[in-house]
Structure 1
Amino acid sequence: MISLHSLAHLRDLPATTWDALVADAQPFLRHAFLTAMEDSGSVAPDTGWAAEHLVLERDGEVRALLPAYRKWHSFGEYVFDHGWADACERAGIAYYPKLLGAVPFSPVSGPRLLAADPAEGALLLQAIPEYLDKGGLSGAHINFTDPALDEAMAGLPGWMERLGCQFHWRNPGYRDFQDFLDRLSSRKRKQMRKEREQVAGQGIDFAWYRGDQLSEAQWDFVYRCYANTYAIRRRAPYLTRAFFSLVAERMPEAIRVVIARQHGREVAMAFSLVGGDSLYGRYWGCLDEFDRLHFETCFYQGMDFAIDEGLQRFDAGAQGEHKLIRGFEPVITRSWHYLCHPGLRRAVEEFLAQERVGVRAYAEEARGMLPYRRD
């Protein structure tokens, strides 16, 4: 017998059961990461994120999973549907609550549907429209998907594909940072070298740490930096201080933090995760302003690390054309959307058809702006 139900707390499912279906090496999908989000209060009903993880069981055995949340807003998603919500409000259509299949606050593409058997994963996807109807949800949105899910979604009625563009850095096997610079045009090579020299000239150096190598006082510093990134924009941070301690305790081997010091005083940090062949830059912040420090801490330090560790890819986060001129290549991202209201679905479908053309053209144009030599 097959059944579909949801979990309001991921900790109600054993980590071994969840992680057994996480075939990808990406750390964001691990039970440890997602429960740290929930247990720290970063993801909770009072922040507009109510965990509603979908579980497909066959004869009482978990066979497929979708990390999901019932949401009453669209913040922290990085696939922007605020315009759709505004249009619904003007038309008197309820857009919230909606169901979001995603990793909170993490615009990182990867598996979303967790299933040992693709056929059972397909059963979960096929059950979503009825689940939405019964649950009073306006629609479902699955963000930053992987190619396997893209292929499965393409054949399902009612689901609409949305494209985005990010910038990722590839390491084909550089010997060192100079080897990378040698692949660039002369002007860009000089620019990057000058930027790194400007940071060093301010008396700033860097140290890298694993998650279990930082003291609680250092985690306090990391959080102050992270929170300051939001404070300067007059916004509250998405993550609580408790999240950092919990995730460091539960998956320290996946965490990397680089701390910038000026004459021994800690002034900035970048928090990253490592999984498989990739480095994922996630959070950054500084307590003082320094020329070019953001580029060094968030980009060049990560590139150095990837080269030293033999990692093939560096995903430094969403958006930012400033990555492009530093060698980060355009990458198409995908999300999938199912809207219950027929009129809204038709309007969004027309919009997405035009947007896809624009995104592809933008990515192609961006590729022509890369700083690599053409000889």
Structure 2
Amino acid sequence: MNSERLPVTQDSSPTRPRRRWPRRLLLALLVVAGLGAAGFAVQRTLGSDKPAQAPATAPVLVQDIEETVLANGELEAKKLVNVGAQVSGQIKSLKVELGDEVEKGQLIAEIDPLTRQNALRDAEAELTNIKAQKAVKQATLKQAQLAFQRQARMLKGDATSRADYEDAEATLDTTKAEIQALDAQIAQAEIAADTARINLGYTEITAPIKGTVVYLPVKEGQTVNAAQTTPTIAMLADLDTMTVSAEVSEADVTRVRPGQTVYFSILGEPDKRYYSILRSIEPAPESISEEASTSTSSSSSSSSSDSAVYYDALFDIENPEHRLRISMTAQVSIVIDQAHKVPTIPSSALGRPGKDGLYAVRVLRPDGTLKTRQVEIGINNSVRAEVRSGLSEGDKVVLNEAPAAPATSSSSRRPRGFLGF
């Protein structure tokens, strides 16, 4: 069976021409898009736009504000005295215990006085002996004066020789000189007796100030040796007034000066503030004593330059109830500046200041749009800032407003296929 091959024919239907965008329509759309983008930019520049979602805001509040320098401090007794023994010997008795309150002049301890009593008796005996020698010389002086006067009368009547007269005169002068020497010995003996009497008094140790016994390193029967160093018998502290020594860093010390208000809290009472006035700032750090006592080499000087430098700021605080104790840690705040009942905003609402010193702050208006305002800022303690102008109480400022990235911004995002792309 013969199969017939059909001829291949081309489609005779008319071809559809490709649809093209009119050039004028494309130009018109581009112009409209450009005008819209320009209008949006102008709106952003004027600072009035309605965000897609409400940003985090905080109201302007009227309150007190202060700027402070923070420092760590330690409490010390304003008066702290080491009571030592000036003589050696065995402690015969202790009259106080740790924590006792003592008055000035009160007996604290007694050292065995027998050795000092014997030394005093010996000095007094030596003084008595020299005074007796002087009495003998005074009698000899009287005899020498009479002999000299007799020789003088006889010499006028040529009844004696010149030699006998001169011998009587020399004896008188010698006796007077010996009495002067004895007077000097008596003075020395009196000094020795007084010293022995004072040393005997040192065996009774009394309180030099009114205070509290805060340290008692010795016990009854213990022997102390005062030959080389003065042994400590007790330590007394006047706890009615405490001194706080606060370490201020070199970065802040230039802003601190005497007379500023200062307050602190202790670890046991973190919510209670103790107020005082800064008394003084030490001119050099404590490390200067170590640097003066040791010779610094090039390596040590380089290492010391890397360490922090602190200066002690001192102030006093009344402590009538003795709630504050020695060596307590104090969290100290030194008030640099403060203002009362002023408008404030969170510091996080601020950026960098402009050349005129003003800050650009975004404010959320009642209609939901944002407005940029130029604000003058006063005190800024990094938590809240004082508003001097530009805002009113109740205004809501935007916090931490980060600028939107162009790739994810709703104003720059375009639907796929827009304008045929």
TM-score, reference length from structure 1: 0.16
Structure ranking higher on relative contact order (CA contacts 8 Å, 6+ apart): 2
Of Structure 1 and Structure 2, which has the larger fraction of its residues in strand?
2
Q: Which has the larger radius of gyration?
A: 2
